[in-house]
Structure 1
Amino acid sequence: MHLCLFEDNGLDPLWPLAASRAVYDLRLGLRTLLDTTREAFPSANGTLLHSRDALGPVTARENDLLTNRIPGNLDVLFVNGRFVAEDGPALERLRAAAANDEAARVFTSDGDVVAAWMPEADPDLLDANALTRTTFGDLPEEELPETRLVGRLWHLLDGLEAALRRDYAARAPGYNILQRPEARVHEAATLTEPERIVTAKGCTVRPGAVLDATEGPIYLAENTLVEEGAVVRGPCCVGPQSVIKAHAVIEGSAFGYYCKVGGEVERTVVHSLSNKAHPGFLGDSYVGRWCNFGADSNNSNLKNDYGDVTLYDRAEDDFVDTERQFMGLVMGDHSKCGINTMFNTGTVVGVFCNLFGGGFMPRHVPDFSWGGTEKRMRYRTDKALRVAETVMARRDRELSDAGRDLLRAIANRRETAG
């Protein structure tokens, strides 16, 4: 059996996070949706990917997997990239369909295609920009129970604590910080419940740092650094090469690789390669790649009246009720803000925004915006790409031709939208 994660037509509500990546490359905690699905089917012979045409080359390069092509008539379990592969009846049913080599069928939930099992998959299936119920023709249909699909931006934060605990269980190598002699943990660091703290090779914990696993486990990936006086409260997962800056207070959050994190951060996901290195609060938020926060930038995550927070939804072109009391900032890739920037409760900032100035930013900032509260203009595409090249070079990365084409396509869509 081969896996094929696909994109459907339910992506607009996940803008701007799904603008510059395939939906299954979004993190649900430390691991991506792709990670969790692949790990849920360990017996799969291989993994294929389907993405929107504009994302195909970027997705293939990011994941080093065959994208938008099926080589021959393979037996394929197609899985929606928005599917959360957590233990339960839905996952067990999909495993059984493939393991028992059942007849081809489509698995649905409330009208969405969750998966499709095809013992002989048509190689032309992946030609479509989005796979929908029509893609799978007249295959018989079966409704899946208790299925979870990521359909809105805040769904990426729902159940974050549970996701972090699953990440810890999946990534922890079976021994804790006290059993890893090569971990550089200073004797003046404080470890609370160290049996639930796991450090990978190359981690450093400096004097005065506090790792507190009382409320949940802590996982520090390869070559992470926790500086002097920082406090990390579990559950928390920190990706490779990331730095928790001196005197930071971190809890209930996940950070991908090459992030710098300072100030106060709680219940937040930072995808990777982004910096919030200075004082300031970030809570109940989701930050993409290549983002940067100026010193003393803050977001609100709770309304003064304690009511539910609304959030901009691209599909509705309006603000919709999240039914969450706590909801902070969603920031797309390559966006940056200057010192003392303030974000209101439930703010969505698009891709490639450069924000600065006093007062609260608007609660919806479109892609490629430049300016602040009083005046914003269109961020010139050529200038934005030059900045991206400079920023990426600092991490020994380059903007590929495919990546440049993708970002230009996003910019052009903004131009068309006005």
Structure 2
Amino acid sequence: MRIVLYEDHPEEFFPIVNFYPQFNLRIGMRTIAENTAYYFPKFRLDYIARPLFNFKFNPRNEPTIYLSSRLILNERIQLPYEETRFVVDGNDAGFLKVTPPFPQSLDEITPALNNIKRRKDISGRFIKYPWDLIRYNKDMIIEHFKQIKKPCMISRSITFTGSKRSIFIARDAMVHKFVYFDCTEGPVYIDRKVEIKPFTTIIGPSFIGEGTILDRAKVIKSTIGPYCRIGGEVEECIFQGFSNKYHEGFIGHSFIGEWVNIGSLTTNSDLKNNYSNVRIKLGDREYDTGMIKLGCFIGDHTKLGIGTLIPTGAVVGSFVNFFGGGMMPKYVPSFKWLGPNIEEDYKLEKAIAMTRVVMARRGITLSPEYEELIRYNHKNR
């Protein structure tokens, strides 16, 4: 038996899944795929994703568990003996397929699911909308921290409140003097090769990913993915990875993609003046999120110049370059240059050249496959 993770209507998560599959989104201390793998350590994981990601799916005639990339498990599924669809809070979250035909592409998932009548409620969370990542992130950091088998690694003198058992610092992480950890409401996990510079405060539950640098930062109940550079204030956010917010400013209740650069004093709003629910537009439809505090969603490779002001509930595409400061539009499609009296398309070759430079600064070479992803997204923007 094997597990197959499949993308589940990824178009409803644009622009934050333009450059990686839905199951690679971060929540808590892991990606969605890593969270699923934790509950099935002896099972092989395969993936069904959009063709642009070139996943090779090997057909095998054996019972297979298909799980949606929107499913965040919090316990292992007790498997039935017959074909069954799995349900979380009324949402289809996957199915067990026992006999052929076994779906091999996204187009085959929904018909296979609809042909299964037996239903089983399972335990977990369902990411129905992108803002659910922000809604559930704090709880997932707490759950993931509890699953760590390593002992508490505090081999140095640190300043903290709460329980020392709620702090994990990797052996090769560097924590300077005048760093403060607040674990009264949740744990703090500091991953490998992290550097935390003086006058930084981290309030749990928070996860700081491998290779990230915090410099005079205030990180509140957030997930910071690998190799980010963070300064100023970050509250209840997810940074997917490789992004910079290194200066003063505030980003709150937001999802920031990869390779994003946020200029000095850039600040977003995560609360409306009338305290009503934040509304967000995805595609042609506007949604009431049911959340009073919600910031912005920013796609990969977007650059925001100094002094940018981001409105509540903003959705900013990939490869957006906004400069000149001041309030930016609430909705910006991908591959746009915006500034004072300027709005034009981001030229493809210029975008690729910029990406090559940015990645090289982190010791990463732009691969032909990734360049093709850029070309695909530009063509289909």
The two structures share one fold, judged by TM-score above 0.5: yes
Residue of structure 2 equivalent to 1:206: 176
Q: Distance in 2 between matches of 1:29 and 1:49?
A: 21
Residue of structure 2 equivalent to 1:4: 4
Matched AA of 1:364: Y
Does the 8 A contact of 2:305 with 2:325 survive in 1? no
SS in 2 for 1:47: strand
Per-residue deviation, residues 84-125 of structure 1 (Å, max 9, x unmatched)? 1123xxx5xx3322xxxx1233335688542221235546x2
Match 2:58 to one of 70, 75, 83: 70
Does the 8 A contact of 1:168 with 1:237 survive in 2? no
Q: How does 1:45-56 map to 2 (within 5 A)?
A: 46-56=44-54
- Say yes or no: does 1:21 pair with 2:4: no
Q: Distance in 2 between matches of 1:221 and 1:109?
A: 31
Matched AA of 1:41: F
Residue of structure 2 equivalent to 1:80: 68
Residue of structure 1 equivalent to 2:138: 161
Does the 8 A contact of 1:53 with 1:129 survive in 2? no
Does the 8 A contact of 2:6 with 2:68 survive in 1? yes
- Say yes or no: does 1:175 pair with 2:152: yes
Q: How does 1:12-411 map to 2 (within 5 A)?
A: 12-44=11-43, 46-56=44-54, 67-87=55-75, 94-97=77-80, 102-108=81-87, 113-120=92-99, 122=101, 125-126=103-104, 128-136=105-113, 138-144=115-121, 148-171=125-148, 173-177=150-154, 181=155, 185=156, 187=157, 189-192=158-161, 193-245=163-215, 247-314=216-283, 317-372=284-339, 374-411=341-378
Q: Distance in 1 between matches of 2:115 and 2:202?
A: 52
Per-residue deviation, residues 3-44 of structure 1 (Å, max 9, x unmatched)? 110123x22221111222111100112211101111122232
Shift, 1:288, TM fit: 0.6
Q: Which has the higher strand share?
A: 2
TM-score with structure 2 setting the length: 0.94
- Could you list the runs of 5+ residues in structure 1 that have no partner in the other structure? 57-66
Q: How many residues align?
A: 380
Matched AA of 2:135: D
Q: Distance in 2 between matches of 1:397 and 1:371?
A: 28
SS in 1 for 2:3: strand
Shift, 1:233, TM fit: 1.1
Q: Distance in 2 between matches of 1:52 and 1:310?
A: 28
Matched AA of 1:223: K
Q: Distance in 2 between matches of 1:50 and 1:301?
A: 35
Does the 8 A contact of 2:260 with 2:300 survive in 1? yes
Flag the 1:143–1:280 CA change in 2: closer, same or farther, 3 A.
same
Structure 1 range deviating more: 393-402 or 232-241 = 393-402
Q: Distance in 2 between matches of 1:121 and 1:220?
A: 45
Does the 8 A contact of 2:73 with 2:123 survive in 1? no
Q: Distance in 2 between matches of 1:344 and 1:373?
A: 17
Matched AA of 2:68: N
Q: Distance in 1 between matches of 2:221 and 2:92?
A: 32
TM-score with structure 1 setting the length: 0.86
Q: Distance in 1 between matches of 2:308 and 2:189?
A: 31
Flag the 1:176–1:138 CA change in 2: closer, same or farther, 3 A.
same
Q: Distance in 2 between matches of 1:17 and 1:260?
A: 19
Shift, 1:331, TM fit: 0.5
Q: Distance in 1 between matches of 2:193 and 2:89?
A: 43
Structure 1 range deviating more: 341-350 or 74-83 = 74-83
RMSD: 2.0
SS in 1 for 2:82: coil
